[in-house]
Amino acid sequence: MKIFVGSDHAAFEAKKELMAYLGTKPEIEVVDEGCFSSDRASYVEFGSKVALRVQNGDGRGILLCGSGIGVSMVANRYQKVRAALCRTPEEAKLSREHNDSNILCVGARISTSENIKKMTDAWLTASFEGGRHAERILSFNTLGELGKSHPDNLAAAEYWILGAVISVVLFGAILGQYNRTYFESIYALEDGWLEYGTVWGLALTFALCLKRIKELWRVRAWTFRLGLVVLSLLCIFGMGEELSWGQRIFGNTSPAFFAAHNSQGETNFHNLVLEGVKINKLIFGTCLSIGVVFYFVILPVIYRRRESIKKFVDKFGMPIAKKWHVLAYVTVFLLALASGSIKKGELLEFSGVWIFFCMYFFPANRSIFEK
């Protein structure tokens, strides 16, 4: 059994003693989630770290603070968490048998070390009785969702952004059919407004990544932090590729390799031609298209149907598209194809980035990005 333990500074010494006690039990793996000294620390931070572990199904938790009240309030904000504030071994035992508690909360200033150990033993050895208790737990598990909007509802900002994106692509599709010369030489011009609009969409997504890294770095698991870092690096790469890594702004001369192997003689990877193979078509065309279809269309479906997939996606901080995001992407994809132009890729890049920005800002699984 894996037990995650956390405390604030007021309960630091009590936590150390409890962890040493738990360490004598070979059947238990103890994970210290902090704090790690007697310096002033917030019970919110360490209560959240343990609650997230339990919410993700990684194990059970024990939280300590001065009274036990603060950490219990924090932990019970998380879905699937049933944190029980206990003062006696009998309460700890009943919290498991009747309430299936998965986090034990105790007060280091209220209970003695010996009493905390007794409560812990009672809590660890007791088992959930199920039956009528299971029915009651099932009835209150969804109470936290009351008053919340449906995860697929669109925010006001999304209406404006998605509406604008679809309008841009629709107008481009019409131009592609009735005035292709204008569409290709002006509307979808290389280094034109569509391309810079794509860069701005990536820049805003990157800024949002940095904001979430700052807010969530200390209260999320390493897998979640990895997801944030990977997405921020992908945004940087995308911006660099769109601007040929600054060459289109500053007019730098391309290195010899890119001058010889890039179809446009620029410093970027997506226009490389190696031994007659166009990287743009192979990787940034075919492979990326398959990836986008899977991420936008297929993953949201299996995310909602398979608990194992949901757990994996949430653990790595991957945003999931709402149904409206999926519909918007399918719409712009069909409109871009209807343009009949070889420049339809500019429309897809622009619209895809801005739809992803909406998806990242307002994902269907938005709760995983909340503090």
CA dist., res. 146 & res. 288, Å (int): 39
Q: How confident is the model at residue 141 (pLDDT cuts 50, 70, 90)?
A: low
Residue 145 has pLDDT above 60, yes or no: no
Side-by-side strand order, sheet with 60-65: 29-32, 2-7, 60-65, 103-107, 83-85
In a domain, 151, yes or no: no
Average pLDDT for 252-256: 82
* Alpha-carbon dihedral angle through residues 12, 23, 120, 73, given to the nearest 10 degrees: 40
CB 175 within 8 A of CB 215: no
Residue 285: pLDDT band (50, 70, 90) is low
- CATH for 106: 3.40.1400.10
Say which residues have a Cβ less than 8 Å from residue 32's Cβ, sequence separation at least 6.
5, 6, 15, 19
196 falls within a domain? yes
Catalytic residue of the set 9, 98, 133, 261: 98
Statement to judge: residues 125 and 66 lie in one domain: yes
Mean pLDDT of the chain: 90
pLDDT at site 28: 93
Q: What is the pLDDT of residue 150?
A: 66
Is residue 250 packed enough to be buried (19+ CB in 10 Å), middle (13-18) or exposed (0-12)?
A: exposed
| Confidence class for position 144, pLDDT limits 50, 70, 90 | low
Q: Which of 65, 209, 235, 358 is catalytic?
A: 65
The first and second tokens of residue 300, run together, are: 């949201």
Measured CA to CA, the distance from residue 128 to residue 97 in angstroms comes to 4
Same domain? 38 vs 182: no
Q: Are residues 239 and 285 in the same domain?
A: yes
| pLDDT at res. 371 | 67
Query: Which range among 39-48, 75-84, 140-149, 289-298 shows the weakest confidence by mean pLDDT?
Result: 140-149
The confidence score (pLDDT) of residue 289 equals: 79
Domain boundary among 124, 145, 166: 145
Q: Is residue 53 part of a domain?
A: yes
Compute the distance between CA of residue 224 and CA of residue 238 in angstroms, rounded to an integer: 21
Please report whether residue 29 resides in a domain.
yes
Q: Which of 324, 334, 335 is nearest to 157 (CA)?
A: 324
Number of structural domains found in the chain: 2
| pLDDT of res. 284 | 65
150 domain-assigned:
no
Ranges of beta strands (E only) in 172-274 are 273-274
Residue 302 pLDDT: 93
Confidence category of residue 257, pLDDT binned at 50, 70, 90? confident
Looking at 122, 145, 168, the residue that finishes a domain is 145
Q: Are residues 55 and 190 in the same domain?
A: no
Q: What is the pTM of this model?
A: 0.63
Q: Are 317 and 224 in contact (CB under 8 A)?
A: yes
Let me know whether 41 and 139 are in one domain. yes
Residues 72 and 217 in one domain: no
Domain extent for 226: 156-369
pLDDT at 272: 82
Q: Tell me which of 145, 171, 196 is where a domain ends.
A: 145
Same domain for 95 and 180? no
Distance of CA 7 to the CA centre of its chain: 25
Q: Does a structural domain hold residue 37?
A: yes
pLDDT for the residue 218: 84
Beta bridge partners of 195: none
Residue 235 annotated in active site:
no
Same domain, yes or no: 217 and 345:
yes
Residue 3 phi, psi (nearest 5): -120, 125
> Residue 154: which pLDDT band, with cuts at 50, 70 and 90?
confident
65 is catalytic: yes
Q: Which residues contact 190 (CB under 8 A, 6 or more apart)?
A: none
**Confidence check: pLDDT of 350 > 70:** yes
> Same domain, yes or no, for 127 and 165?
no
75 burial level (CB within 10 Å; 0-12, 13-18, 19+): buried
Asked whether the predicted pLDDT for residue 35 surpasses 60, the reply is yes
Q: How far is Cα 139 from Cα 294, in angstroms, rounded to an integer?
A: 35
Same domain, yes or no, for 87 and 191?
no
Mean pLDDT of 208-236: 93
- Provide the residue type at 224 as one letter: F
